[in-house]
A and B are shown apart, each in its own frame.
Chain A
Amino acid sequence: MFCSAFMSNYFNEMFSGKTVRPPYQGLDSWSADMPQELRSLKQSEAEALFRRIGITFAVYGDGGDPDRLIPFDMFPRVFSAGEWHKLELGVKQRARALNAFLADVYYRGEIIRAGRIPADLVYRNEAFERAVMDIKPARGVYSHIVGVDLVRTGPDEFFVLEDNCRTPSGVSYMLENREIMMRMFPQLFRENRIAPVEHYPKMLRRTLASVAPERCDRAPCVVILTPGHFNSAYYEHSFLADMMGVELVEASDLFVEGDFVWMRTTEGPQRVDVIYRRIDDAYLDPLCFRPDSMLGVPGLMNVYRSGGVTIASAPGAGVADDKAIYTFVPEMIRFYLGEEPILNNVPTWQCAKNDDCKHVLENLGDLVVKEVHGSGGYGMLVGPKSTKEQIAAFADKIRENPGNYIAQPTLALSTCPTFVDEGIAPRHVDLRPYCLVGESIELVPGGLTRVALTEGSLVVNSSQGGGVKDTWVMA
């Protein structure tokens, strides 16, 4: 019943040959014994649950459904405790280095003086925020939630695809996927020792409270700032606010008076100490960033500058997760921490460099090319999956503006068994764990596994037809 004829050259996380790898042993009989009818029943049950809870994901563009569900695959993705231990150390190391880098480039810029990173790449970066130079955020933390996108190519080979230092999304799926799996397959959770993830909201709240401004002399008031209910991730914002027990505010709910930020409540103004913002820097404060914008809280940056409020992630944090800076993260780890990187980068060619660009153009058919500032799988080229015409058209785009592109080899992404129409088949997966940085650095044992549901596809983004899985770490 298991069709492994295809994709046999990729690392299969469950099977090596005919034997089941240890972390997946509890799932072998579960999946083999599940009759087709039960499976369809459970699948529609899961979908109904998602719809009822209201977990939807808006798709932009023509014909996009504002209430689309992200497809949920019931086959869990599993890590052994040992595998996870290594990932955890690697992710935490990266989160520390990225924060050290941010604290450095907005202060003395030692890493640039030392010649380890070209000054241009930092100071002329679109995401570099001159307005926050010399401001020291509470505890020196800039990026409080670091989402690290990882792929696996072998038993011990993990690569970091990119870092997300601003506002990585998707954590609500990590939590809801688990809730739904526990509800549908309680037996599995009794038989396997699966580390829980449900304390994530509590940890997030503690992390945010720990970075309240020094001036805050009471239990800090934390809020989540959302662009509003038309945003594709609105469900996540409201879910997190609910689980953390904090207010979900829009910019119009906030105003600045005196040295503080306040929110409008039915009982009058209430002071806000920590803002977990899910909006871009540009829309934080029209007085500081975009005079033409009607959005944002006028005066917010003044309060931030004088230490009256903490903004998480700090304005300017985006410069660390830029795709051009990404190449230098191993260098940061060596420079700031004096350690060797635990997780590898994917080798990356910068089209901004002449030699690299030449190589990229000559080998487009084998490479994945991305926009430096792009996200969500839009505007990228997957060489091996593209036609000659698509490749030629993309080459023109690169020649036009080489600095806008980076290229990476097409990785042999690992596969995980996935329920498909014909039964169970391997599909490519990636992983995004969420690292919290405050008084301490913490990581819940789990993350968001995204799966490319189309056979052979390597693109896992939900905007491109990817799905999600529950991610288990065995205790």
Chain B
Amino acid sequence: MLSRTASNLFWIGRYMERAETGARLLNVGARNALIPNTGGGYRNEWESILAAGGHANAFAEKYGEPNQRNIESFMFFDMDNPASIASCMEAARENGRIVRTALTSQVWDALNSGFQEIREMRRTERSKMSISDLIDWTHSQAALVRGAIDGTQLRADGFDFLHLGYALERADSTARLLDVKYYVLLPQIDYVGSGFDNYQWETVLRANSAHRAFHWAYGGEVTPAKIADFLILNRKSPRSLITSAENAMHHLDRLSRAYGRGTEARTRVRSIVGELAETTIEDIFDEGLHEFLTRVIGEVSILSGLIHAAYLSGEMR
């Protein structure tokens, strides 16, 4: 496979996952806007949502006031925001168009129809689209693409590059979402049981579409340690760091086998998975949640660089 083709596939995965992350953030914001405004609550939520994407400045410059309508424009439609859902979906579709021949027609259809529908939405009056419609639409569009990939793509190297993109983006976004809220999870005696924390913790879970899964997996009281454990170390959680890292490892292993050649990327991902498997949540709190997450984000970016060097740049001999 051409290195450039592999790179386009990898980025389809990353952009689609990024679009979904955007939808999750919007969901949290929309929900919080419905909750009574105690202690200056909802306004801060919109701001922390912008902070999660790292776009607070860009937003303030263009829109000023962070109200729901502006955030919606910025996070869904705005093509100047490279992480907006429309930007991500168009970028995924453009990457797909470039490597049209490496995708099944079902995958292409899914990517292309999303793009065509966004064009349609731009012509629709905004008052006719509720924020929950936009969020649902994004989730189902993302599911359509992922389903088409899993259901129809040949299990060859291209399939692995698509999934590597998904896995890395997911690890990165989970770590970032947690990092924005890390202070909520710090064990602070005064807050426990005060209602405020419960609501904040739920927000963290919701941002990861994990609030119901969490209750199934743990039951009982919601505690910061359980939440952090669920999103970092629990293999049952589809978005936990360890699940994402293991997915990346699985696909790097497959590539090494298929090409009959080991890479530094594979060595690195193994050490990341190894560390996560050995760590307990107490170790993480001892290190400092923020410090730990910063380190993970750094690791993911190094891994991405190694994958690029090994497969996507075409420099490997």
Contacts and interface: CB of A to CB of B under 8 A. Distances in A.
Interface stretch (A163-171, A245-253, A354-362): A245-253
A438 to B, nearest CB: 23
A238 B4 CA distance: 14
Interface in B147-187: 157, 161
A166 B6 CA distance: 30
Q: Would you call the interface of chain B mostly helix, strand, loop, or mixed?
A: helix
Contacts of B124: none
A43 to B, nearest CB: 18
A53 B116 CA distance: 12
A266 B98 contact: no
A264 B2 contact: yes
Interface residues of B, number: 29
Contact of A267 (B94, B109, B259): B259
A264 B259 CA distance: 14
A156 B259 CA distance: 59
Contact of B314 (A54, A229, A242, A253): A253
Q: Provide the main secondary structure of the chain A interface.
A: mixed
A265 B113 contact: no
Interface string B182-200: 0000000000000000000
A101 B197 CA distance: 84
A263 interface: yes
Given A52-B112, A54-B100, A54-B108, A266 B6 contact: yes
A51 interface: yes
Nearest to B261: A267
Contacts of A229: 94, 97-98
Contacts of B314: 253, 263-266, 269
A471 to B, nearest CB: 25
Contacts of A239: 100
Nearest to A247: B2
A241 interface: yes
A224 to B, nearest CB: 10
Contacts of B161: 266
Interface string A229-249: 100001100110110000111
A53 B261 CA distance: 37
A247 B101 CA distance: 9
A52 B6 contact: no
A265 B310 CA distance: 10
Interface string B291-317: 000000000000000000001111111
B3 interface: yes
A52 B101 contact: no
B101 A266 contact: no
Interface string B88-128: 00000010011011000100110011001000000000000
A268 interface: yes
Task: Choose among A249, A250, A252, A265 the residue with the greatest number of B CB atoms under 10 Å from its CB.
Answer: A265
Contact of B101 (A242, A250, A265): A242
A268 B101 CA distance: 21
A232 to B, nearest CB: 13
Contact of B109 (A52, A234, A264, A268): A52
Given A52-B112, A249-B2, A253-B2, A266 B100 contact: no
B255 to A, nearest CB: 8
Given A268-B317, A269-B317, A52 B113 contact: yes
B1 interface: yes
Contacts of A53: 105
Given A266-B6, A268-B316, A54 B311 contact: no
A235 B312 CA distance: 23
A253 B5 CA distance: 10
Contacts of B105: 53
A234 B97 CA distance: 9
Contacts of A267: 1, 259, 261
A54 B97 contact: yes
A99 B3 CA distance: 36
Nearest to A241: B101
A266 B109 contact: no
B119 to A, nearest CB: 9
A265 B3 contact: yes
A238 B95 CA distance: 13
A267 B317 CA distance: 8
Contact of A264 (B4, B97, B112): B4
Interface string B124-151: 0000000000000000000000000000
A233 to B, nearest CB: 13
Contacts of A265: 1-3, 314
B114 to A, nearest CB: 12
Contacts of B1: 265-267
B262 to A, nearest CB: 13
A241 B109 CA distance: 19
Contacts of A235: 100
Contacts of B2: 247, 249, 253, 263-266
A51 B105 CA distance: 13
B305 to A, nearest CB: 16
Contacts of A238: 97-98, 100-101
Interface string B1-42: 111111000000000000000000000000000000000000
Interface string A426-464: 000000000000000000000000000000000000000
Nearest to B157: A266
A69 to B, nearest CB: 12
Interface in A247-306: 247-250, 252-253, 263-269
Contacts of A242: 100-101
**Residue from A234, A241, A263, A268 having most chain B Cβ neighbours under 10 A:** A268
B265 to A, nearest CB: 12
Interface string B247-273: 000000001000101000000000000
Interface of B: 1-6, 94, 97-98, 100-101, 105, 108-109, 112-113, 116, 157, 161, 255, 259, 261, 311-317
25 contacts: A54-B100, A54-B108, A229-B98, A238-B97, A239-B100, A250-B4, A252-B4, A253-B2, A253-B3, A253-B4, A263-B2, A263-B314, A264-B2, A264-B314, A265-B1, A266-B1, A266-B6, A266-B157, A266-B161, A266-B311, A266-B312, A266-B316, A268-B316, A268-B317, A269-B317
Given A51-B116, A249-B4, 5 more contacts: A53-B105, A247-B5, A249-B2, A264-B314, A266-B2
